[in-house]
Amino acid sequence: MSGPFDLSGKRALVTGANTGIGQAIAVGLAEAGAHVIAAGRRSCAETVEKANGRAEEMILDLADPVAAAGALPGDLDILVNNAGIIRRADSVDYTEADWDDVMDVNLKAVFLMCQAFGKAAIAAGRGGRIVNIASLLSFQGGIRVPAYTASKHGVAGLTKIFANEWAGQGINVNAVAPGYIATNNTEALRDDPERSKAILDRIPAGRWGDPADIAGAVTFLCTPAANYVTGAVLNVDGGWLAR
């Protein structure tokens, strides 16, 4: 395979790759020709199997951002920061522990992983691609998820500052903001007929997103076809934010 969508010879690492969106991204990158390190705090063996020999697994717990960044391989061409957690409570009841846990995984780890990737790529003079997984709550406030909302606003900001600083070094940094995707995280919403209907009524595409929808967007941003795309936050939401 060759051409603007070919990732043959590239090495990529995807965090949170054991299931859902992360798994789909890892498989999508592998299908485009990359060798993928599927990283997660639990085994990514299923992802490796689905990648048909173009992947390996790595246990990586983003709850300890410093250790995770320190374990990042130094020879990567692509980094996808997908791992994230969410804790729900009314803002007046939200605990400091929940705030710290969410911010460590969703924002501090993203910063440190990008920093480690950037240092290695700049030192080697090879350039690279970073794609951060943002959210609709990078643009909206949400309800009962203050730390998640703050962290995803932060992910959009980090994406832009790294893009500004590293574009001249050949490192493109972008983000993808998923809409409502059919994963384990949204199972409760999909199982609630009233809530599901309210969500679908707002989505012009009229359906829940599939993890493969996110994988396609991420893969595009990692290919030569996106050479002049950096600092973007790409909404993949079936038109939700346009409504």
Q: Round the average pLDDT of the chain to a whole number and report it.
A: 96
User: What number is the average pLDDT over the span 179-208?
Assistant: 93
Residue 1 has pLDDT above 80, yes or no: no
pLDDT at site 135: 97
User: What number is the average pLDDT over the span 177-204?
Assistant: 92
- Amino acid at site 240: W
Active-site residue, 148 included: yes
Q: How far apart are CA 51 and CA 122, in angstroms?
A: 29
Which among 94, 148, 180, 228 is annotated as catalytic? 148
User: What number is the average pLDDT over the span 183-208?
Assistant: 92
pLDDT at site 189: 85
Domain spans of the chain? 11-233
pLDDT at site 185: 80
User: What number is the average pLDDT over the span 101-122?
Assistant: 98
For every residue of 173-241, DSSP letters joined together read: EEEEEE-SB-SGGGHHHHHSHHHHHHHHHH-TT-S-B-HHHHHHHHHHHHSGGGTT--S-EEEESTTGG
Tens digits of per-residue pLDDT, 21-31? 999 999 999 99
CA dihedral 122, 128, 129, 130 (to 10 degrees): -30
Query: What tokens were used for 141?
Result: 């406030």
- Is the whole-model pTM more than 0.95? yes
Q: How far apart are CA 27 and CA 219, in angstroms?
A: 10
Domain 11-233 has CATH 2.60.40.1180: no
Instruction: Name the DSSP letter for residue 126.
Output: -
Tens digits of per-residue pLDDT, 131-167? 999 999 999 999 999 999 999 999 999 999 999 999 9
Q: How far is CA 111 from CA 47, 72, 99, 238, in A?
A: 25, 13, 17, 28
* Sheet containing strand 171-178, strands side by side: 55-59, 35-40, 11-15, 78-81, 128-133, 171-178, 233-236
Tens digits of per-residue pLDDT, 41-83? 999 999 999 999 899 999 999 999 999 999 999 999 999 999 9
